Every structure is written in C-alpha cells, then in structure tokens.
Structure 1
Amino acid sequence: MSATEIAKRHFSAALVDATSVGLDHDALCRSLLGLVVSKYLENRSVSDVQSELRFIADNCDPDTDFAFMRP
C-alpha cells in the first residue's frame, strides 16, 4: 500500500465523519492542512514548509501542466 492510498483512505473516512456530524468539508480540510503543516514543522524549516505549500498552490490547477513538464 502506498502513502497516497493510505492518505486517501483516511481522508475519505474523515469526510464521512465530518458529514455525519454536520461539519463543512472546507473546515475539515483547513484542520487537516493545519495538522500537516504542524507535522512538517517538526522536522523542516519554516521556509522549507512555505516552499512546499507555495509549490502546491502554484500547481493546483488540474488543467495546467507543471512548469517543468514537457509536451
């Protein structure tokens, strides 16, 4: 099982839990993102975490290729 498969399984379960208690999915995602950032900061510098988040934000459009990809 890959890290992505594990994350997807737990994320799906968290969405089901949030729905069952009437929580907004955006609120859940913000909470999970905060937990991920906190975990990153245990072993990574603030600038490294900011760089990671910036890369994800800059490349989150599913209809756009990554800048480093070739056609």
Structure 2
Amino acid sequence: MSVHQWARQELEACLERALERGFDPLLSLRALLSEAVEMNRLEREVADLAQELQFLADNLDPERDYAFMRP
C-alpha cells in the first residue's frame, strides 16, 4: 500500500465518522483540509507549502493537462 492509498483510506474513515456525528460532508472536508495545511505549515517552509498548494489549485480540473509534466 502506498502512502497515498493509506491517506485516502484514513480520510474516508474520518469523513465517515464526521457523518456519523451529523457534520456536513463539505464542511468536514474543508476543516480537514485546513488542519492538514496548518500541520504542514508547522513542518515546512511557508513558501514551499504555498508553491505546492498553488500547483494543486492550478491542476484541479481532471480534464486539463498539468501545467508541468516531465517527459
């Protein structure tokens, strides 16, 4: 299992527990995202984190090619 597969399983489990508690799914995902960014900020340089977040934001559309792809 890759770390990304593990992370997806953990996130799905967290979201399931949030739904069991009656939390809105979108609000729960936003809260999880905010906390993940905050925890990253404590471990990384802000500029590095901002660059990664910008890359992810620029490539949200699955129909669009990545802004940068290695050959």
User: Same fold per TM (> 0.5)?
Assistant: yes
Match for residue 66 of structure 2?
66
Task: Tell me how far 1:2 sits from its aligned partner.
Answer: 0.7
Shift of 1:63: 0.9
| Corresponding residue for residue 55 of structure 2 | 55
Give TM-score, length-normalised by structure 1: 0.83
- The sequence identity of aligned pairs, in percent, is 40
Give the CA RMSD over aligned residues. 1.6
Q: Following TM superposition, by how much is the alpha carbon of 1:57 offset from its aligned partner in structure 2, in angstroms?
A: 0.4
TM-score between the two structures when normalised by the length of structure 2: 0.83
Runs of 4+ in 1 over 6 A off after TM superposition: none
Tell me, yes or no, if structure 1 residue 33 matches structure 2 residue 39: no
The unaligned stretches of length 5 or more in structure 2 are none
8 Å Cα contact 2:18/2:28 also seen in 1 = yes
Task: Give SS of 1:23's match.
Answer: coil
